[in-house]
Amino acid sequence: MAHEIWLNRWGVTIDQREQQVGTQGLTSLERLIHILWLISQSMRATGDLVAARQRDPTLFRDGLAAARALDLPGIVEVFASSAGWIEAHFFEKFDDLCRELQPLRLIAGTDIH
What whole-number distance in Å separates Cα of residue 72 and Cα of residue 34?
15
- CA quadruple 25, 28, 29, 33: dihedral positive or negative? positive
- Can you give the residue range of the structural domain that contains 38? 2-107
pTM: 0.88
What whole-number distance in Å separates Cα of residue 27 and Cα of residue 67?
12
Report the candidate in 45, 23, 36 with the shortest Cα–Cα distance to residue 105: 36
* Residue 93 is assigned to a structural domain of this protein: yes
Q: What is the pLDDT of residue 10?
A: 85
Mean pLDDT confidence for 19-36:
91
Residue 101: band (very low, low, confident or very high) from pLDDT cuts 50, 70, 90 = confident
Residue 105: band (very low, low, confident or very high) from pLDDT cuts 50, 70, 90 = low
Q: How many domains does the chain have?
A: 1
Helix (H, G, I), strand (E, B) or coil at 26: coil
* Residue 112 is assigned to a structural domain of this protein: no
Residue 90: band (very low, low, confident or very high) from pLDDT cuts 50, 70, 90 = very high
Mean pLDDT confidence for 88-105:
88
Residue 109: band (very low, low, confident or very high) from pLDDT cuts 50, 70, 90 = very low
Report residue 72: phi and psi, to 5°: -115, 85
Check: CB of residue 104 under 8 Å from CB of residue 70: yes
Residue type, position 32, single letter: L
* Residue 28 is assigned to a structural domain of this protein: yes
* Residue 102 is assigned to a structural domain of this protein: yes
* Residue 22 is assigned to a structural domain of this protein: yes
* Residue 7 is assigned to a structural domain of this protein: yes
Mean pLDDT confidence for 63-70:
95
